[in-house]
């Protein structure tokens, strides 16, 4: 089992992933929404197949390359939930011929450029900025949205499907209540737009992304589609935000110990910025860190230490862990430690190969 691991690798617990998928799928069905999970989190054919086996048939991705990758594995309903990249129109057209492809337009300049670029029909969604201010149309300037819709409607190859939003700012919430308020206000804005444009464009739907809202809210009513991604794996960020429990957490990075420095209470592992990413978390002590440290049993089950342990510093391949001297005395170079990444999507992107365990809760 874990003995086979020689280098940093993403350890994925299939039992927990499938439980997370079933939970989210059940919730979507309860509210009559379609689950279109965001596959940018895992970028893994195997994890993708677990979704398929649980009944998912539509997905979101965040690049044309990812769309190609999953289309080649048989996925036939793929939304590229990223503003259309006009430098890839040739590949976008090719993909639209082999899968039901969804494109996203997030500013009026792109809306003006897209008509005439597709030789094959594709779905088009307008991205609405519900407050994260990353990109998208401002819901308080509906005249721009109207103009964009009118322009896109000129091209019969562009099937206008509706509005999508990603409330990335839920991640800045201090607590669950605040998080749910962010969700509630954003959904209200999205539903308001659907209402006000329904007379001009019939059948517009609304699609909502972000794991914290979808996982925590008890009320997902009136949304046609849910696009969370992170929930399949979760990570330190979600744990610390109170979104998931330790039993729902499904990934760690296995890190070989390469040096012991008990005299300064530090352990060096082979797992650096090129494995964990430099995404920073914040400990309760107000110190930035690059992941929580756990132990494994022989089957890869996570064993939580009795106290918080963090990766304090990172170089390209080195991770520096702060650990009490007496715990270090039990370690040897070559042992494996587990690191719960701060942001699992970035760790999964860096560690494309996954090592699957079946530990369960």
Residues forming contacts to a second copy in the complex (CB under 8 A) are: 5-7, 40, 62-65, 82-88, 91, 106-107, 109-110, 113, 133-135, 138, 168, 256, 258-261, 263-264, 266, 268, 270, 273-274, 277-280, 313, 315-318, 320, 332-334, 336, 345-346, 349-350
Radius of gyration, alpha carbons of the chain? 22
Q: Which is nearer to a second copy, 5 or 191 (CB)?
A: 5
Q: Provide the angle, in degrees to the nearest 10, between the axes of the packed helices 45-53 and 64-71.
A: 60
Shortest spacing between CB 296 and a second copy, in angstroms: 14
**Distance in angstroms between the alpha carbons of the first and the last residue of the chain:** 18
Q: Which is nearer to a second copy, 77 or 349 (CB)?
A: 349
Are 229 and 41 in contact, with CB atoms under 8 Å apart? yes
Shortest spacing between CB 361 and a second copy, in angstroms: 28
DSSP letters, 196-212, are HHTTTSTT-EEEEE-HH
Q: How many helices (H) and strands (E) does the chain have?
A: 12, 19
Shortest spacing between CB 313 and a second copy, in angstroms: 7
Q: Which is nearer to a second copy, 111 or 250 (CB)?
A: 111
Q: Which is nearer to a second copy, 65 or 198 (CB)?
A: 65
Q: Which is nearer to a second copy, 299 or 315 (CB)?
A: 315
Q: Which is nearer to a second copy, 107 or 191 (CB)?
A: 107
* Cα–chain center distance at 9: 19
Shortest spacing between CB 22 and a second copy, in angstroms: 25
User: What contacts 24+ positions apart, CB below 8 Å, involve 323-331?
Assistant: 323/265, 323/266, 323/267, 323/293, 324/265, 325/262, 325/263, 325/265, 328/260, 328/261, 328/262, 328/265, 328/267, 329/262, 331/257, 331/260, 331/267
Shortest spacing between CB 315 and a second copy, in angstroms: 6
What lies within 8 Å, CB to CB, of 47 at 6+ separation is 12, 17, 232, 354
Say how far apart CA 110 and CA 83 lie, in whole Å. 8
Shortest spacing between CB 105 and a second copy, in angstroms: 9
Shortest spacing between CB 331 and a second copy, in angstroms: 8
Q: Which is nearer to a second copy, 179 or 257 (CB)?
A: 257
Say how far apart CA 183 and CA 266 lie, in whole Å. 41
């Amino acid at each position: 089992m874990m003995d086979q691991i020689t280098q940093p690798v993403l350890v994925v617990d299939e039992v927990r992933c499938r439980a997370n998928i079933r939970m989210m799928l059940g919730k979507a069905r309860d509210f009559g929404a379609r689950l279109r999970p965001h596959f940018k989190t895992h970028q893994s054919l195997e994890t993708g197949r677990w979704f398929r086996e649980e009944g998912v048939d539509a997905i979101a991705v965040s690049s044309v390359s990812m769309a190609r990758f999953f289309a080649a594995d048989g996925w036939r309903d793929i939304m590229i939930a990223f503003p259309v990249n006009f430098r890839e129109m040739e590949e976008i057209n090719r993909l639209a011929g082999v899968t039901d492809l969804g494109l996203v337009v997030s500013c009026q300049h792109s809306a003006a450029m897209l008509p005439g670029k597709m030789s094959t029909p594709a779905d088009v969604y307008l991205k609405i900025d519900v407050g994260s201010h990353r990109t998208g149309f401002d819901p308080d300037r509906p005249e721009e949205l109207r103009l964009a819709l009118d322009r896109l409607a000129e091209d019969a190859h562009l099937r206008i499907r509706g509005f999508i939003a990603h409330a990335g700012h839920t991640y800045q919430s201090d607590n669950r209540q605040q998080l749910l308020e962010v969700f509630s206000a954003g959904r209200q804005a999205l539903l308001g737009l659907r209402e006000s444009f329904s007379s001009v464009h019939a059948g517009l739907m609304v699609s909502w992304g972000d794991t914290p809202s979808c996982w925590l809210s008890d009320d997902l009513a009136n949304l046609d589609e849910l696009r969370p991604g992170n929930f399949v794996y979760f990570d330190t960020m979600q744990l610390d935000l109170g979104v998931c429990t330790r039993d729902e957490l499904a990934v760690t990075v296995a890190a070989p110990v390469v040096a012991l420095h008990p005299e300064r209470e530090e352990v060096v592992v082979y797992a650096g910025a090129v494995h964990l990413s430099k995404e920073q978390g914040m400990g309760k002590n107000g110190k930035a860190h690059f992941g929580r440290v756990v132990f494994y049993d022989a089957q890869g089950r996570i064993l939580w230490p009795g106290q918080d342990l963090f990766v304090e510093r990172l170089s390209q391949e080195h991770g520096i862990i702060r650990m009490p001297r007496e715990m270090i005395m039990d370690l040897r170079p070559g042992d494996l430690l587990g690191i719960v990444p701060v942001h699992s999507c970035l760790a999964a992107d860096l560690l494309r190969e996954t090592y699957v365990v079946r530990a369960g809760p």
